[in-house]
Amino acid sequence: MPTPSWPTETSDEVAWLGIAELGRRFRRREVSPVELTRSLLARIERLQPHCHAFLRLTPELALTQAAEAEAELATGKDRGPLHGVPYALKDIADVAGVPTTCHSKILAGHAAPQDADIVKRLHEAGAVLIGKTALHEFATGGPAFDLPWLPARNPWDLSRHPGGSSSGSAAALAAGLIPAAVGTDTGGSIRNPATCCGLIGLKPTYGLVSAKGVFPLSPTLDHVGPMTRTVEDNALLLQAMTGGPPFYLGMYAGIRDLRIGVVEHFHPDDGNVDAPMMQAFEDAVKLLRSMGAAVGVAHLAPLAEWATCGSTIQQFEQYAVHEKWLASRPQDYCALSRAKLSAGANLSRVDYEQALEKRRQLRAALEAVMRDFDALVSLSGFHLPAPIEDADAVARTYVRHARMPFNVSGTPAIAVPTGFSKEGLPLGMQICAKAYDESMLYRIAWAYCEEAGAAVSWSARRPPLE
């Protein structure tokens, strides 16, 4: 019997398939990695002017890698779940010979000498790099209109902010431009856009994913992590990013009798949280209880203590990274990031060391609480995606959220959708676990999303871009 040939055409519908389903179709030769890549590049060209998700496409590299993957799969060489799957990379990580701009004029002419560790891992896994995505300048500041590149917009409502700083990665996923993306998270920069765009975004345990070759913002708070449209895809992408064990083992075991703590005091009263976000979170907690989890209340340090500790560490460290450029090239930063990066000039070494000691205390207290729970759940953000041109509204979303505690602790946290507001804007929460227990996060996230109908309604719902 002759070997079946690869399809020569790909429908736009295939753009919405995830890592797991694409892998199955590749291996049955129902979808061609090369034709999929061509189709996605055409789709990006069509929709990029609306959502501004990408800073740079790498079409020649992508088609070369896709052809290599297709040839290998045809001969039975299988590199794993990411083999032949296109992905997007936040433009803060290096790709040899390609500029790493960090969305800034400061690095506009920079070309990376070698691949970041994360790029090497994904190349070894057979993934196909299709382009580099927009972010907030140097992963801080916010959506800026005083740079040569426009900020990414939220595909669910193009007048809204997609969250940040991994804004382009989230916009590309939500718009069906890519099935997988890489982001970074220093104070919530994966979980924020995941929440704003209705996605799955994981901040792994500190150090689990190598940050070598990723431009630093705050080195002791920075995390590199996966962003996808489904929980299963997220686990598959994390496995490829680490080269470690399959994180999806045990994912389908259910959550009966798991001990889940609800962090209620991060939002002291409903007036501080947009009502749809709060209602969706309360409904999610009820659902977890109905699924057999032992749900209780978890008491951590006040959110303000975590936020102050984290912001002090971040401001001191990011100023150290940017001090020379702030002195010699201040005009080349956008106003937002120039102000944020300069804030560390007012901090002393004593302030920083006190914050480091506070972090040790907060970590120890969290570890003590976690002896009684398998995981915690809390809100991720307190507000719906803000109008992108309303600077004050966007700024509020960066000071009022519950993500920084888990950057300070270095423990893993995953953002999952909890539905949509009546205006059609995504809602979400986060689940947090002990260090290196990403498998627990995936277990709870998958069970919740399946029970809540995410596989039927949320992931099937698409933004009104077209």
- DSSP characters over 342-406: HGGGG--HHHHHHHHHHHHHHHHHHHHHHTT-SEEEEESBSSPPPBTT-HHHHHHHHHSBS-HHH
Q: Collect all residues with Cβ–Cβ distance below 8 Å to 282 and sequence separation of at least 6.
A: none
Please tell me the distance from the alpha carbon of residue 250 to that of residue 370, in angstroms, as a whole number.
20
Report how far apart the first and last C-alpha atoms of the chain are (Å, whole number). 42
Active site residue 165: yes
Q: Collect all residues with Cβ–Cβ distance below 8 Å to 330 and sequence separation of at least 6.
A: 338
Q: Which of 166, 189, 337, 378 is catalytic?
A: 189
Residue 51: which of 464, 458, 381 has the closest Cα?
Answer: 464
In order of 291, 300, 373, the CA distances from 261 in angstroms are 15, 10, 6
Pairing mode, if any, of strands 54-57 and 426-433?
unpaired
φ, ψ for residue 262, nearest 5 deg: -100, 120
Handedness of CA 271, 275, 277, 279 (dihedral sign): positive
Please tell me the distance from the alpha carbon of residue 82 to that of residue 87, in angstroms, as a whole number.
9
Active site residue 104: no
Please tell me the distance from the alpha carbon of residue 203 to that of residue 257, in angstroms, as a whole number.
25
Please tell me the distance from the alpha carbon of residue 136 to that of residue 351, in angstroms, as a whole number.
26
Q: Which of 32, 90, 169, 203 is catalytic?
A: 90
Residue for token pair 């083999």: 83
- DSSP characters over 282-304: HHHHHHHHHTT-EEEE---S-HH
Active site residue 286: no
Q: Which helix (H) or strand (E) holds 185?
A: strand 181-185
Please tell me the distance from the alpha carbon of residue 200 to that of residue 235, in angstroms, as a whole number.
10
Q: Which of 32, 39, 104, 165 is catalytic?
A: 165
Please tell me the distance from the alpha carbon of residue 168 to that of residue 181, in angstroms, as a whole number.
9
Peptide bond into 165 cis (omega under 30): yes
CB atoms within 10 A of CB 124: 13
Residue 6: which of 36, 39, 37, 31 has the closest Cα?
Answer: 31
In order of 314, 409, 434, 457, the CA distances from 206 in angstroms are 15, 9, 11, 33
Q: Which amino acids are annotated catalytic?
A: 90, 165, 189
